[in-house]
Chains A and B, each alone.
Chain A
Amino acid sequence: MFKKFSPSTDIAGQSALKSSVQRSIRAQLLETLSIDAETLEQIWPKKENLIQVKCREHITIFTLHGVPLFFQHFDDKIMPSLRLVHKYPSMLPHVKIDRGAIRYLFAGAHMMCPGFTSAGGALPPADAALPAGTVVAVHCEGKEHAAAVGILKLSTEDIKKVNKGVGVEIATHLGDDFWNVQKI
């Protein structure tokens, strides 16, 4: 999503959000991310106004004091930026890829199923299976921090079963152009 992104050319405009819209975003965040209201309050205090930055191809970035916190494609789920995931690692469910897949991840590829099912990878157990469409943090074998944020294309059980094709669509990964934007 952010393979090519430069603030000077790709941003169409910034505007402050209506407080009613902000309320609904807040509710949506609490619903989709596993964080409580208190933690969200730390990240995004009630009194602060989120700024909506509209970009090309229906991408919207939400910033606070110029720092990108969340982003959204069209009307999809709101996803946290990778730097935010690093700060609060447990806000997203984790999936793990093996070492061989890391270099493809850094080249911007979507993550294929075998990367999760091989010896180095990991998926949540069957009783904590995640449905398709869940926003996940992609971790890597032997690494501590998340390397990417993506959306499950298949449910985790299906990934184990099918073991072929794209398992996680990567939205943003370490070192992509969105990662390099520290302030807008």
Chain B
Amino acid sequence: MADDEQPTQPIAGPSTVLYCQGTRATLVGGFTVLTDPFCFLRHARCTTLFSAVCSLPPEYCEFGSHLSKCKAWLEDAYPGLYQEYYSEEALASKVGTLSLDKQAKLEADVAKAEAKAEARAANEEKKKAASKVIIKRIERQKRKYVTSIAGLETFGVDLKKASKALAQRFATSAAVSKTPAGGEEIVVAGDVADDLLELIEDASEGKGNKTSAMFKDVPPDACEIVEEKKKKGGAGAGGE
């Protein structure tokens, strides 16, 4: 077992590695090719493919959780490699030293993991469809308001960046704060609820500027404006 592949050759240039294509997010709508993050190695041959159904090098896909999708991708994009990894004799030889029932167990496990991953993806999709962006106008003092926006993160908005942008857009102050429920929300000083809805509507239609580009994935239909009056006799500072 010892005399095995100890690299003795001097290091040549960077070797090219192929990674499984498509990201988890873009599983359904075909595959995307991500750029090689090592592209900044200018001398390097930037032929490395990334992306991924599972982002692993394709030889490891069989241990990932999206085997059938990985297989479909590989067959489509690199038929040669597909033959190498999944043809009959390759399958027979790769069982290697593993006993048969162990191999069967492994396959069962992979199938289970795959089913689980799919269920999770479907669940997330459902959650996204059901989730709402709640724009809340909260009375802080008589005739003074803050606006809180909750639920943006499900639509892929970077809250920290968004709060900065909103602060600039409305010439006011905005912050990301934690909600008691455990989530995060953006709190903008001043009553900007209607303007905000407008901004989101504009963004979804593709017009508007840098600020609104951030919200382009937020469907305006999912937005809801709620009003929250200050509780009478609450522990608010100052009182009325």
Contacts and interface: CB of A to CB of B under 8 A. Distances in A.
B41 interface: yes
Residue from B34, B95, B97 whose CB has the most chain A CB atoms within 10 Å: B97
Interface string B41-56: 1011000101000111
Nearest to A93: B6
A87 interface: yes
Given A65-B40, A83-B37, A123-B1, A94 B97 contact: no
B4 interface: yes
A123 B5 CA distance: 10
A143 B14 contact: no
Interface residues of B, number: 40
A114 B14 CA distance: 32
A182 B59 contact: no
Given A42-B44, A123-B2, A142-B96, A106 B17 contact: no
A123 B60 CA distance: 21
A128 B6 CA distance: 9
A121 interface: yes
Given A175-B56, A182-B50, A90 B7 contact: yes
Interface stretch (A12-20, A24-32, A54-62, A97-105): A97-105
Interface string B7-38: 10111011101000000000000000010011
A90 B102 CA distance: 32
B11 A36 contact: yes
Interface in A129-152: 139-145, 147
B37 A88 contact: no
Nearest to B110: A103
Contacts of B40: 64-65, 67
Contact of A90 (B9, B37, B57): B9
Interface of A: 34-36, 39, 42-43, 64-67, 83-84, 86-91, 93-94, 96, 98-100, 102-103, 106, 117-126, 128, 139-145, 147, 174-175, 179-180, 182-183
19 contacts: A35-B11, A42-B44, A65-B40, A83-B17, A83-B38, A86-B17, A88-B14, A89-B7, A91-B11, A99-B96, A100-B98, A100-B106, A102-B60, A118-B97, A120-B98, A139-B5, A175-B55, A180-B55, A182-B50
Interface of B: 1-7, 9-11, 13-15, 17, 34, 37-38, 40-41, 43-44, 48, 50, 54-57, 59-60, 63-64, 93-98, 102, 106, 109
